[in-house]
Structure formats: C-alpha cells, structure tokens
C-alpha cells in the first residue's frame, strides 16, 4: 500500500476499527475514509453503493457489525443475523463492483464447532455445530466468511481476506455487562464492586471455560500486514490469536487484582458457560512474520485506565 491510498474502515469508532485507524495514522497513511453510523447506514444497499461510487476506496477493512456477549446473543438472535448479513452483503457487493484491491472481513472464533481440536485450525471450520448460545451470530459470520471465499473462487483473485481474531479487547470496547464481552464486562463489574464496597461478586457460569484474549492493536497490526503482503494467500480464513489462554476464573482474579477488588468471587452455575475452550491455531498468520506484542495483564491495565479516563469521565468522572 502507498501512504495516499484510499482506505475505508467501516466501524472505525469501534474496538477493532479504531485500532486499525490508530495504526494506519501512526504509519503515515493520510487518506482514510471514515463515516459513522449516522452518516452512512451500512444495512441500506443503496446508501452503501452511493458511498462506494463517490469515493472508490482501494482497500477496505470491514470492522462494522453487531457484536455482543451471551446475554445479547440470546435476547436478539434475529437482529444479530439481519444486521450482520446485510452489512457484509452490501459492503462485499460494492467492493467487488468497484474493484477494490483488498478487503479484510472480521469473522469470529465462535464459528468453530463447540467441540473442536485445540488449538483450533482453520480446517476445523464447518466440521461440527457451533456453540448454541451464539449460533445466530456464528452463522452470520460464517456466511460473511464464505462470501469472501466465494468471490475469490469465482473470479480467481485473492482479494477478499476473512480473518478470525479471538476475544479482542482494548480502548473503545463495550463495558456494558448486558451487551459487552466477558473481559470488558468484568472490568466494569469489579470497578463498581470496589466503588460500592461490595464484599461478594457473583459471576455467570462455573469459571472453568478457557479463552484466548488478544489486544485490538495486535489484531490491527496483523491486518495491515495482510493488506501490505504480496505473498499468495490461500483461499482460507486466517486465525489471529496469541497462542495462550486462561480460564474465566483466572481472568477474574487478574482483573480483581488490577482494579483492587478484595472481596469474594462466587459463580452462578445455573448460567451458561459457552464453549469449553476456544484457543486458535495462529501458525498461518505467524508464517507471514506477525506476532503479538502485548501481554494480557499489561493490556488489561491499559484498558482499565482507558475506561477510567474515557468512559467514566464522559459520565462525570464518577
């Protein structure tokens, strides 16, 4: 890529999209196309077509979509499917029509079968049923992934690259316990427990499932590497993970220590756990020369500080 190439980042205010913007700007890219939800409704095909006609981006990093934790997935499965399918279809059709050079689409580790070899290789996709608690979202992301691969196959070009980052966290995450993912939700819950002087905090599930967490900036670095690479990329999705995981109970202990919670942690085993383990085999992205720079504890410290500085101060520095 050249520093003046037009790069469109749908979802640029979100967790991964904002990390991509930071990395590109830090590297001197000056022609970023950014439009928020109020300026560009991505579920409207006519609006998306008009935007691509007007701006003709050369690269696209599709970071927009509806995401959420177990609660949101259980309450709004139709919304998850409708919004994600519409966004992916509209962006991919427009990108193909105007001839973008490369496009990255973010798929999800929840697409893998609930019972899956660990670490999970890309070849294990579609070998079993995904975790039921996130099935609608998983199906929508599988469809987006397959659309990318289908375009590549039909037109003989490896332009559309679906990537699968594992549980991502960092600045601009969603810290709402009802709609956020586990790490950001735990940061908020432990912070509020400290502020209220709670001596007991009850968390969902058993705490035994194991998850792999990766900082958004590391995911952004991997994506920029793929956009810049001239190497032949096989027509498969590409995992992006750290190669290390921890149990949810271990994660809770780390966050409790960082936030300063000294009370008791209890587990509500009547609530769902989700998949027992989700560790990605990231050997393919590593073969391109990428490796994560961040570590879990330092990343959580930085994310918690961002939460204190940005989220709480927007609400009056409570």
Could you give the residue numbers annotated as active site? 137
Q: Which phi-psi region, left, alpha or beta, contains residue 28 (left: φ > 0; alpha: ψ -120 to 50)?
A: left
* Tokens 């709480």 sit on residue: 312
d(CA 266, CA 123): 38
- Spatial CA neighbour of 276 closest among 207, 176, 209, 188: 209
| Burial of 89: CB neighbours in 10 Å, binned 0-12, 13-18, 19+ | middle
The contacts of residue 159 (CB under 8 Å, 6+ apart) are 100, 101, 102, 103, 151, 152
Beta strands in 113-235 (DSSP E): 160-165, 167-169, 200-204, 210-211, 213-215
63 and 16 in contact (C-beta within 8 Å)?
yes
């Amino acid at each position: 890529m050249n520093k003046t190439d037009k790069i469109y980042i749908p979802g640029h205010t979100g967790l991964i999209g904002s990390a991509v913007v930071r990395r590109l700007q830090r590297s001197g890219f000056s022609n970023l196309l950014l439009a928020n939800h109020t300026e560009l409704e991505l579920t409207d095909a006519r609006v998306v077509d008009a935007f691509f006609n007007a701006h003709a981006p050369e690269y696209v990093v599709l970071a927009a979509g509806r995401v959420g934790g177990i609660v949101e997935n259980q309450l709004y499965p139709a919304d998850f499917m409708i919004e994600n399918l519409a966004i992916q279809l509209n962006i991919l059709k427009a990108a193909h029509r105007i001839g973008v050079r490369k496009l990255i689409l973010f798929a999800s580790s929840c697409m893998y079968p609930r019972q899956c070899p660990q670490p999970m290789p890309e070849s294990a996709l579609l070998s079993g049923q995904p975790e039921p608690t996130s099935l609608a979202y998983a199906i929508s992301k599988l469809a987006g992934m397959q659309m990318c691969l289908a375009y590549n196959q039909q037109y003989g070009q490896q332009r559309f690259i679906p990537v699968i980052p594992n549980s991502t966290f960092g600045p601009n995450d969603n810290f709402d316990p009802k709609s956020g993912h586990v790490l950001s939700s735990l940061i908020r819950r432990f912070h509020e427990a400290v502020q209220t002087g709670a001596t007991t905090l009850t968390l969902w599930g058993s705490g035994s499932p194991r998850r792999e967490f990766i900082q958004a900036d590391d995911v952004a670095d991997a994506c920029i590497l793929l956009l810049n690479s001239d190497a032949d990329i096989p027509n498969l999705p590409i995992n992006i993970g750290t190669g290390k995981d921890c149990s949810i109970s271990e994660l809770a202990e780390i966050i409790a220590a960082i936030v300063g919670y000294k009370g008791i942690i209890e587990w509500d085993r009547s609530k769902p756990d989700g998949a027992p383990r989700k560790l990605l085999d990231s050997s393919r992205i590593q073969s391109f020369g990428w490796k994560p720079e961040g570590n879990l504890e330092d990343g959580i410290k930085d994310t918690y500080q961002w939460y204190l500085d940005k989220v709480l101060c927007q609400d009056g520095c409570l």
